A = this chain, B = another copy of it.
Amino acid sequence: MSETFAALANRTRRAILARLVEGEANVNDLAEPFDMTLPAISKHIKVLERAGLVVRGQRAQYRPCSLDAAPLEEISTWAEQYRPIWEARFDRMNDYLTQLQPQDRENVRDA
């Protein structure tokens, strides 16, 4: 899971994953929206591949990249363990707003 988190700790790599939701793409396609060299993009793709987030096709000349979302499910499941914590925080904020007088409440909301 450390490898998945490390792969996701980069805006370009997250943008590549978002692009792959639309379907498979080759390195040139993936490089297109970025002001980056092809080797730089290839390096990002290799990091995503090692983390199991990107799979390369096997066709000889054309090895398109596609998304494997399985590691993202693992990340989501891991983060969801903490849902009671962030919801408790939200509930406390809600209780606080409910306890305020209507006048104060408006001030808080306008702040």
Contact = CB atoms under 8 A, between A and B. Distances in A.
Interface in A69-89: 69-70, 72-73, 75-76, 78-80, 82-83, 85-86, 89
Among A14, A75, A80, A82, find the residue whose CB has the most chain B CB atoms closer than 10 A: A82
Interface in A31-72: 67-70, 72
Interface of A is mostly: helix
A27 B19 CA distance: 42
A109 interface: no
A82 to B, nearest CB: 4
Contact of A69 (B10, B11, B78, B82): B82
22 contacts: A1-B14, A2-B10, A2-B11, A3-B9, A5-B5, A5-B9, A6-B6, A14-B78, A21-B82, A67-B82, A68-B89, A69-B86, A70-B89, A72-B85, A72-B86, A73-B79, A73-B83, A73-B86, A76-B76, A76-B79, A76-B83, A79-B79
